[in-house]
Amino acid sequence: MALEIEWSRKADKKINKILEYLQEKWGANVTRTFVRKVYDFLDLVVEFPEMGTLEDKRKNIRGFTVVRQINIFYRIKGTKIILLNFFDNRQNPNRKRF
């Protein structure tokens, strides 16, 4: 049974910032490629929710590297996959926030 995706406000804001940056600095083709990779991941994760690395066992938070620079953090809760955040891997890893 496939799960449904739910976006947190934080994830929604972060993806919009990333898309604005990509569009401004790299153009439409790079932006489209990134969006395609995110949605390819979402298509897979609804079928295989535990494919991401367990980042925080206590909170059941998983992470997945969509592109080298960006990780997606999510949580499985009942019949939903809740997207928590997009993290730029070029930032200080101590600032990693789910």
- Work out the average pLDDT over 49-56: 94
Question: What is the pTM assigned to this prediction?
Answer: 0.88
Which phi and psi angles does 78 have, rounded to 5°? 65, -120
Query: What gap in Å lies between CA 57 and CA 38, rounded to an integer?
Result: 24
pLDDT in tens, 18-48: 999 999 999 999 999 999 999 999 999 999 9
Which amino acid makes up residue 27? Answer: G
Q: Judge whether 44 lies within some domain.
A: yes
pLDDT value of residue 89: 83
pLDDT value of residue 33: 96
Enclosing domain of residue 41: 4-90
Residues in CB range of 88: below 8 A, 6 or more apart: 18, 69, 70
What is the pairing mode between strands 80-88 and 70-77? antiparallel
Q: Judge whether 57 lies within some domain.
A: yes
CATH number at residue 73: 3.30.2310.20
pLDDT value of residue 47: 93
Q: Judge whether 95 lies within some domain.
A: no
Q: Give how many domains the chain has, as a whole number.
A: 1
Residues in the chain: 98
